[in-house]
Amino acid sequence: MGWGCPARREKINKYQGRVFSAPALSRFRAAVPFSFIVHLHSAAKAAYLNGSSAERAALESVPAYQPPPQDPPSEPILMLPGALTAYVGLIALIHLRVLLPPEAENWTIDVFGFIPRRYDANALQIYFPGGEGAKIWTFVTYSLLHANLSHIFFNVLWLLPFGSALARRFGAVRFFVFMAVTAAVGALAHLVTHEHAIAPMIGASASVSGAMAAAIRFAFVRGSFLSFSRGDADAAARVPALSLLRALRNPRVLAFLAVWFGINIIFGLGSISVGAEGASVAWQAHIGGFVAGLMLFSLFDPVPRIAATADASSRDI
């Protein structure tokens, strides 16, 4: 609207918070010089004109356009440490052997699977591929072989929470050596209980069991990865651990042991034996790896031990 509109037609013009109709505005213009009449388009402009010099200086220092704050970067749902990612990737890569012809696939199991009969000196001489060298490397290499995808799935499923914390705590070198040692102890337990067995044992469950046993030495301490009061993943993996005796007196650790043994016995998830005798659960290897992980944890742990008077787990979860 212009200034020459009919008198009855109101024109809204804000001046210091007042609203004038057209006749009143005309009288006001006559009394006040035109240079003092300003259209106030916004509250910011009004504050600028009516405020003090300090307020005007503060407003002038604010940029005319301020971009909206960026959204914080979203964290991935599951972040695996590099050592565990490499371990799972190696298992997946080795499992591509199933694409080989049946004869070649069976050869890989005979050479790298753990066969107790291979160590039986009193039995009839049976030729096993791999020779004398296989008597050494198969204590570890059997743990990298799996029968099928479901076998891998269940082992990785158990390994994700416990193995992740352990890999962050130990670092890559300690983690890999620990998995190899627990695999070897699991194979030894299987050898003692299956002295004349000819069926190869394969699967990572002895190592997975060892990782679970080692992790419960610090899993229930306040701030750890099974604690409701935990912090970030690295800090949760590096809380001080309980001593072996204190862990075995901890009610939560004892409850976990009961559940683990119950699941292991009832459902039989983990390493299996593959061969002419059919498939069966190598539960003795599970127990061997579990006991090794529980007992040998302190030899690998780089984090200082928890004080004897501070049982943080008693106040958590």
Whether residue 22 sits in one domain with residue 145: no
Is 186 domain-assigned? yes
| Neighbour count for residue 127 (Cβ, 10 Å) | 7
- What secondary structure letter does DSSP report for 201? E
Whether residue 86 sits in one domain with residue 47: no
Give the pLDDT score at 64. 55
Whether residue 101 sits in one domain with residue 26: no
Q: Are 316 and 227 in contact (CB under 8 A)?
A: yes
CATH number of the CATH domain containing 200: 1.20.1540.10
Give the pLDDT score at 99. 93
pLDDT in tens, the chain (317 residues): 444 444 444 444 444 444 444 455 455 455 544 444 444 444 545 554 555 565 555 545 555 555 655 554 444 435 788 999 999 999 999 999 999 999 999 999 999 999 999 988 775 667 888 888 999 999 999 999 998 999 999 899 989 989 999 999 999 999 999 999 999 999 999 999 888 888 899 999 999 999 999 999 998 887 776 654 545 677 778 888 888 999 999 999 999 999 988 877 776 554 444 444 456 778 889 999 999 999 999 999 998 875 544 444 433 33
| Neighbour count for residue 30 (Cβ, 10 Å) | 7
Give the pLDDT score at 19. 46
Whether residue 98 sits in one domain with residue 238: yes
Q: Are 179 and 99 in contact (CB under 8 A)?
A: no
| Spatial separation of the C-alpha atoms in residues 252 and 16, rounded to whole Å | 71
| pTM beyond cutoff 0.75 | no
Whether residue 198 sits in one domain with residue 117: yes
Residue 179 tokens read as 């998995």
Measured over the CA atoms of residue 192, residue 194, residue 200 and residue 204, the dihedral's sign is: negative
Whether residue 103 sits in one domain with residue 25: no
| Neighbour count for residue 66 (Cβ, 10 Å) | 7
Is 67 domain-assigned? no
Whether residue 188 sits in one domain with residue 115: yes
Whether residue 292 sits in one domain with residue 187: yes
Q: 47: domain range?
A: 14-60
Whether residue 108 sits in one domain with residue 219: yes
Whether residue 198 sits in one domain with residue 113: yes
Give the pLDDT score at 267. 62
